[in-house]
């Protein structure tokens, strides 16, 4: 438990550090290097177009990241009589859901709250992902993957121009790291260039991981399931996939796709109002 609590603090700091490094490299290294193209007009120069795209992706990624943290799932334990003794112990290990009128509820040890439609605990946000912040979490994963892949392409273009090398060969990227390490220790490669090369592989790993996680999460949503339900082997009621999507993304899904906005009200809150 101590290790998990430590990871819950270190992981968000790690993500913010990577985001800051990526922003600095894009704004002060990659984008200025694109201004060297004299054939393009200032209005439609690659630097301005790429800068606008990167800022759009970064604003959506960080905006949804903040909304995931702010939109913490409601603590349903305040409205439920959990009892004492063995019943609380059942909640702690997630093996029981007292008051089964609320399906897929789960007590998280790290957040110390009972979450409706609990999916999982995200260490990079330090928060549980449930019905209230699921849409913002998916948008955060989507735009983080796109921002990382965008930085990967810009970084490869920068390294190609700086080191006068070509990535036309698919194996060039795979052999770039071992060759760069040998050149770095032999003194033929600057530390700044080596740092950018290391960031290329980090962006690739984070981008692919976030993209795969986003696709898997969308598959679960289409099936009307959560990661917690799959892990516990819970049977869910079959519904049309359109209803499952609308429950998570709401009717104004296009607005949430373009700009970071708060998620729709949870189904639990609508049940309470009724």
Q: Tell me the catalytic residues.
A: 122
CA 34, 40, 45, 46 torsion-angle sign:
negative
Query: Residue 267 carries which DSSP code?
Result: H
The distance from CA 162 to its chain's CA centroid, rounded to whole angstroms, is 31
Q: Helix or strand or coil: residue 136?
A: helix
Query: How deeply is 133 buried, as exposed, middle or buried, from its count of CB atoms within 10 A (0-12, 13-18, 19+)?
Result: buried
**Helical pair 46-70 and 134-163, crossing angle rounded to 10 deg:** 150
Nearest to 22 by CA among 194, 160, 152: 152
Q: Which two tokens stand for residue 44?
A: 């439609």
Q: What b/e readout covers 135-151, taking b as 16+ CB neighbours within 10 angstroms?
A: bbbbbbbbbbbbbbbbb
């Amino acid at each position: 438990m101590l290790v998990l609590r430590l990871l819950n603090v270190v992981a968000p700091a790690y993500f913010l550090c990577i985001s800051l490094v990526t922003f600095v490299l894009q704004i002060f290294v990659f984008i200025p290097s694109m201004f060297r193209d004299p054939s393009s007009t200032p209005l439609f120069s690659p630097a301005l177009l790429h800068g606008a795209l990167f800022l759009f992706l970064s604003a959506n990624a960080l905006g949804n990241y903040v909304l995931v943290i702010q939109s913490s799932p409601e603590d349903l334990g305040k409205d439920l009589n959990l009892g004492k003794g063995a019943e609380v112990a059942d909640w702690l290990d997630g093996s029981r859901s007292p008051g089964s009128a609320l399906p897929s509820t789960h007590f998280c040890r790290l957040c110390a709250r009972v979450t409706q439609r609990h999916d999982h605990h995200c260490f990079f946000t330090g928060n549980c992902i449930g019905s209230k912040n699921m849409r913002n979490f998916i948008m955060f994963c989507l735009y983080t993957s796109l921002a990382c892949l965008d930085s990967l392409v810009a970084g490869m273009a920068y390294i190609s121009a700086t080191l006068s090398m070509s990535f036309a060969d698919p194996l060039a990227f795979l052999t770039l790291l071992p060759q760069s390490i040998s050149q770095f220790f032999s003194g033929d490669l600057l530390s700044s260039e080596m740092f950018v090369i290391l960031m290329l592989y980090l962006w690739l790993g984070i981008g692919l991981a976030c993209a795969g996680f986003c696709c898997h999460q969308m598959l679960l949503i289409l099936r009307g399931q959560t990661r917690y339900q799959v892990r516990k082997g819970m049977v869910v009621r079959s519904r049309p996939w359109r209803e499952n999507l609308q429950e998570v993304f709401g009717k104004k899904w296009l607005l949430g796709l373009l700009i970071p906005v708060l998620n729709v009200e949870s189904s639990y809150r609508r049940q309470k109002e009724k």
